[in-house]
Structures are given as C-alpha cells and as structure tokens.
Amino acid sequence: MAWTGKIIGGVLGSLLGPIGTVVGVGIGHQFDKGTSKVKQISQTFQVAFFGCLAKMARADGKITQDEIDAVEAIMARFRYTGETRKQAIEIFRRAKDDPHTAADYINQLADVIQFNPQIAMTFIGALHAVAAADGAIHANEREILLQAERAFRLRPGTIDAMLNGGFGGGSAGGTRPAQVNAVENAYKVLDVSPDASDAEIKKIYRQKCMEFHPDKLASKGLPEEFMTYAHEQLAKVNEAYDVIKKERGL
C-alpha cells in the first residue's frame, strides 16, 4: 500500500502518538486527505512493525550487515516491493535512533493487531530472525522478545521455548524419511502435540483458520502485504491438517 501526499506536519502523530510524530515527520510521504480508517490502521501497523525491527537490530549496540540482511529477507517474505519497500526502509532508518523504546512500538502493534495470537507469533518470528541474524541472542534482544510475549498476551514461556528450539524451525535430518518429516512438520505448523486427540487437533485447526481468515484480518486494517502472507499461512495450515488426517486415517 503506497502512501501519497507530501508531509506538512506530524500527522502520523494522530495515529501513533509521540512515536508517529518522531517517525512520521520527514518520511517524505503523508496520508491523503480523506484516507479511510482502515488504511490509517494499515499505515500505523507498518510504522510499528518496522519500528520494532529497528529497535531489535539496535538492541545489541550496533546494526550489523547480517541484521540488515535479515530485515531485507523479512521485507521479501511479506512482498514489500517498490514504494512500500522504500517506506519500510525509511521507517526503519528513522526509528533506529528515535527516543522511543522497543516497548513503545510493541505496545502500539499489540493494540493494532488486537492480540491475535497468529499475527503475534508471526511478528515475534520476524523479531527473532533479526535478533539471531548475527549468531547470538544478546540479553537486550531477549528482553525485547519477552516484552513482546507479555504485550501480546502469549503463554508465559513461549519465548524461552522458541529460544530453546521448542517449536518451529526444527531441522530435518537427511537420513529421515520424507514422509516422517512431513508429518512432524504438520504438527509443528498447527503447534499441537502428536499425542493430542483427534478432537483437540480439529479444534486447534479451526481456531487457526479463524485467526488467519482473510475477512477477519481485513477487518483489522492490516496491510495488503501482510494479507498476502496470511493467505500463504492459511494454505499451510490446511495442508498440515490434511497431512495429519491422512496419517491418522481420518
């Protein structure tokens, strides 16, 4: 979603408060007069999202090329191209040195996504990718992840489980059958234990479908780039459930 119109003042401040005033002024773009509330929320999301990534990259004192590459990969993953990519880079550049904290941006993002757990975990995955880009998680980076865990109202221990390799991103050994790996990965996609009952798995599957449902996400005013990613995730959820049903003979 491109932003058009020239900056006159800190109009972003009306959406993001003091954060918007600092980041918005000088971006070189401004909201058009009459911009819908949904579009305003979308633009707010982008400022908060890339502001958080900037604070994470800066958390260990210096932004490395590896961290920049991680942010570039995130933009590619979410299909940020052309003008929207330029805007994301400019938000990142301004946010990394502004006086606000990572918690300020995280709390703003939590308000925008209304504590949707799937969106929250997607965002935390992006934060973690930046934190781990240089090979180690600094104490300040871990604290930002824990702040996100609290702000998004996730289960206590979610971040520690992620840092300890407790979910997602498991390695697939080359000697293991592809079918076994596919089944294990399917359970990870649904974030459910292989020991769960058929009824429990069906319940979780339906919950994830609801959380990634295009209509529900569109009502939150999320950017088009995130909507595209959400469609892809919903397809993965459906595919994972099909794999589990086949494995269980359902």
Residues 177 and 168: their CA atoms lie apart, in Å, by 19
- Of 163, 195, 215, the domain-final residue: 163
Residue 4 lies in a domain: no
Same domain, 130 and 206: no
Residues 27 and 144 in one domain: yes
Q: Can you tell me the distance from the alpha carbon of 132 to that of 129, in angstroms, rounded to the nearest whole number?
A: 5
- Rounded distance between C-alpha atoms, residue 173 and residue 177, angstroms: 9
Question: Which among 99, 134, 163 is the end of a domain?
Answer: 163
157-191 in b/e burial notation, b at 16+ Cβ within 10 A? ebbeebbeeeeeeeeeeeeeeeeeebbebbbebbe
Query: What's the DSSP call for residue 223?
Result: -
Q: How many domains does the chain have?
A: 2
Read off the pLDDT of each residue in 133-156 and give the average, rounded to a whole number.
91
Q: Find the DSSP H helices in 96-213.
A: 102-113, 117-131, 139-151, 158-163, 178-190, 198-211
Percent of the chain with pLDDT strictly greater than 90: 19
Same domain, 116 and 220: no
**Boundary (domain end) residue, out of 139, 163, 187:** 163
Cβ atoms 24, 7 nearer than 8 A:
yes
Domain identity same for 19 and 131: yes
In a domain, 218, yes or no: yes
**pLDDT for position 141:** 94
Whether residue 34 is contained in a domain is answered as yes
In single-letter form, the type of residue at position 158 comes to T
User: Which of 156, 136, 154, 123 lies closest to 233, judged by CA?
Assistant: 123
Q: In terms of domains, do 106 and 185 share one?
A: no
Assigned domain for 230 exists: yes
Range of the domain at 39: 13-163
CA-nearest of 130, 141, 115, 111 to 50 is 130
The answer to whether 212 and 234 have CB atoms below 8 angstroms apart is: yes
CATH number at residue 186: 1.10.287.110
- pTM of this prediction? 0.68
| pLDDT tens figures, 30-41 | 444 445 666 667
Six-digit token string for 14: 């009306």
Residues 83, 126 within the same domain: yes
pLDDT in tens, 96-143: 888 889 999 999 888 887 777 778 888 888 899 999 998 888 999 999
Whether residues 139 and 202 share a domain: the answer is no
**186, 244 Cβ separation under 8 angstroms:** yes
Q: Is residue 23 domain-resident? A: yes
> Is there a contact between 146 and 159 (Cβ–Cβ < 8 Å)?
yes
Predicted confidence (pLDDT) at residue 21 exceeds the cutoff of 60: no
* CATH number for the domain that contains residue 136: 1.10.3680
Q: Is the pLDDT of residue 240 over 50?
A: yes
CA 227 to chain centre: 12
44 with 89, same domain: the answer is yes
Same domain for 46 and 76, yes or no, is yes
